[in-house]
């Protein structure tokens, strides 16, 4: 590994996305990389150029302050209680699904469904939030500071799978919609969601849950 190269973790921090998403992009060949042992290495210049083409905001991957303590910065259980569970959301396209979804969310008066829909679609235009295995983690490009009193994660079960342009090419039928009020909180929620999805049986529970309490039991 040279000084100009980044590890998988550093690239994840630089792009502000989960490590699994970076690994999938590397495997697919959409993000330039090279294999080093059992994982990938990335040239920072190539990652930055790739991100600029997609309009993604970059951060310093070697700044520890944003990563340290992120598990304490976001309580996934409380965020899930606030966000709740939405079942059988209809839609034949990503836009239709998002529109139907935000219309059913219990949003504060400071955040209109139209504003949230616009923010989610703007983020999706940069790169897919479909992380694979039929799951996506939609979120606005920037935290909703001033528009949202506290972070929330909404579990959304779709009535029919739709094409999300996911990294593995599979259609998506489950969303974990992450809404945060700060970058640190956002990174913490993404990390907690990744941990949740790694639990045995988590995917099946999330797909089949009929109440948010069933999801909270995974924690």
On the CB side of 114, CA atoms within 13 Å amount to 0
What token pair was written down for 98?
Answer: 């998002």
Q: Which of 107, 165, 108 is nearest to 136 (CA)?
A: 165
Q: Which of 55, 54, 60 is nearest to 13 (CA)?
A: 60
pLDDT, one tens digit per residue, over 118-158 is: 999 999 998 899 988 899 999 998 999 889 989 999 999 99
Report if pTM > 0.85.
Answer: no
Angle at CA 129, nearest 5°, toward 97 and 170?
Answer: 80
Based on C-alpha coordinates, what's the Rg of the chain? 17
pLDDT (average), residues 76-95: 94
Give the model's confidence band at 177: pLDDT under 50 very low, under 70 low, under 90 confident, else very high. Answer: very high
Angle at CA 142, nearest 5°, toward 161 and 91?
Answer: 20
| pLDDT > 60? residue 97 | yes
Considering the candidates 139, 186, 195, 207, report the single residue annotated as catalytic. Answer: 139
142 is catalytic: no
- Edge-to-edge strand ranges of the sheet holding 39-43: 5-6, 39-43, 34-36
Q: How far is CA 47 from the centre of its chain?
A: 19
What token pair was written down for 209?
Answer: 């849950």
- Residue 157 near residue 87, CB atoms below 8 Å: yes
pLDDT (average), residues 163-172: 90
| pLDDT > 60? residue 68 | no
What is the rounded CA–CA span in Å between residue 119 and residue 41?
Answer: 31
For residues 24 and 170, which has the higher predicted lDDT (pLDDT)? 170
Q: By CB neighbour count within 10 A (0-12 exposed, 13-18 middle, 19+ buried), where does 216 fall? A: middle
Q: By CB neighbour count within 10 A (0-12 exposed, 13-18 middle, 19+ buried), where does 74 fall? A: buried
What is the rounded CA–CA span in Å between residue 22 and residue 59?
Answer: 15
Q: Which residues pair with 35 in a beta bridge?
A: 40
Residue 83 is predicted with a pLDDT of 94
Which residue shows structure tokens 């994840």? 12
Give the model's confidence band at 1: pLDDT under 50 very low, under 70 low, under 90 confident, else very high. Answer: low
Residue 73 is predicted with a pLDDT of 39
């Amino acid at each position: 590994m040279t000084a100009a190269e980044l590890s998988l973790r550093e690239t994840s921090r630089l792009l502000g996305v989960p490590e699994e998403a970076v690994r999938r992009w590397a495997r697919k060949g959409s993000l330039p990389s090279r294999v080093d042992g059992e994982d990938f290495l990335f040239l920072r210049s190539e990652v930055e150029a790739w991100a600029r083409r997609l309009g993604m905001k970059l951060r310093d991957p070697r700044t520890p302050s944003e990563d340290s303590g992120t598990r304490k910065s976001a309580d996934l259980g409380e965020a899930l209680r606030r966000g709740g569970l939405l079942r059988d959301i209809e839609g034949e396209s990503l836009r239709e699904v998002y529109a139907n979804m935000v219309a059913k969310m219990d949003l504060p008066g400071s955040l209109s469904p139209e504003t949230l829909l616009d923010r989610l679609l703007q983020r999706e235009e940069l790169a897919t939030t479909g992380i694979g295995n039929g799951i996506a983690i939609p979120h606005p490009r920037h935290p909703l500071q001033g528009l949202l009193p506290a972070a929330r994660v909404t579990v959304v079960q779709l009535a029919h799978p739709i094409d999300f342009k996911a990294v593995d090419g599979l259609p998506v039928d489950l969303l974990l919609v992450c809404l945060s009020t700060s970058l640190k909180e956002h990174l913490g929620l993404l990390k907690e969601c990744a941990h949740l999805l790694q639990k045995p049986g988590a995917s099946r529970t999330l797909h089949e849950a009929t109440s948010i309490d069933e999801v909270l039991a995974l924690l």
